[in-house]
Amino acid sequence: MSSSAREPDDDAADAVTLQGVRAELRRVRAGLVRIEEGLAALERDGAAPAPRARTQRRPRPERYLRLLVDVYERGGRHGLDSGAFGALGAAHGYDRRGLGGFFRGEHAPLALVEGRVQLTPEGARLVDEHLRELSA
């Protein structure tokens, strides 16, 4: 799976529960914030064409973001070993192939550092964004 791809079951799984609806509402609110930021940036920069901003990337599913938060909280400074990461991923419904997507691409949120799973700066950014959404 691509790190930015939304899996087909995510929408269906989210939509049938109150928690899912709330998660969707948070995503919509976050999307509005991103649009406002994009508009403000365009107004500030004179509407010049610009590379796709970080904040304009595709929203990630709730479970995707929760897994990143878990890596942050449970990995500490050194990160997680592959066994612990696999177990966390399974708890969020990801198989091995799905977990591989977290490490691929220019904006991969996770990296293997000396054999341990750690957030990249992009992963840390997603964690910060998600924590802000949860606290809104």
Partner 1 sequence: MSRERALVDGDWLEARLGDPGLAILEVDERPLVYNLGHVPGAHCVDWRRDLQDPVARDVPSPEAIRALWRRVGVGPRTTVVLYGDMSNWYPCFALWLFELYGLDDVRLLDGGRQAWLAERRPLATDAPPPADRADAPQPRLRPELRAHWPDVAGAAAHGVQLLDVRTPGEYRGELLAEPGYPQELAQRPGHVPGARNLPWDACVAPDGRLRSDAELRALLDERGVRLDAPAITYCRIGERSAHTWFVLHELLGMSEVRNYDGSWTEWGSMVGMPVVLGPDPGEPLDAASLSLPGLTR
Among 19, 81, 91, 104, binds partner 1 (CB under 8 A): 81
Other CB atoms closer than 10 Å to residue 57's CB: what's the count? Answer: 14
Among 2, 76, 96, 106, binds partner 1 (CB under 8 A): 76
- Does the protein bind partner 1 through residue 131 (CB under 8 A)? yes
- Does the protein bind partner 1 through residue 4 (CB under 8 A)? no
- Does the protein bind partner 1 through residue 85 (CB under 8 A)? no
Rounded CA separation 68/95 (Å) = 15
* Measured CA distances, 52 to 16, 47, 58, 123 (Å): 33, 13, 11, 18
Among 59, 61, 75, 101, binds partner 1 (CB under 8 A): 75
| DSSP H stretches of helix in the chain | 8-15, 18-44, 62-75, 82-91, 96-100, 121-135
Stretch that binds partner 1, among 26-34, 49-57, 97-105, 124-132 (CB under 8 A): 124-132
Residue 112's H or E segment, with its range, is strand 110-113
Residues 87-116 that bind partner 1 (CB under 8 A): 116
Amino acid at 13: A
Q: Output the smallest distance, CB 116 to partner 1, in A.
A: 7
- Does the protein bind partner 1 through residue 134 (CB under 8 A)? yes
Rounded CA separation 43/129 (Å) = 23
Report the interface residues with partner 1, using CB under 8 A.
69, 72-78, 81, 116, 120-121, 124, 127-128, 131-132, 134-135
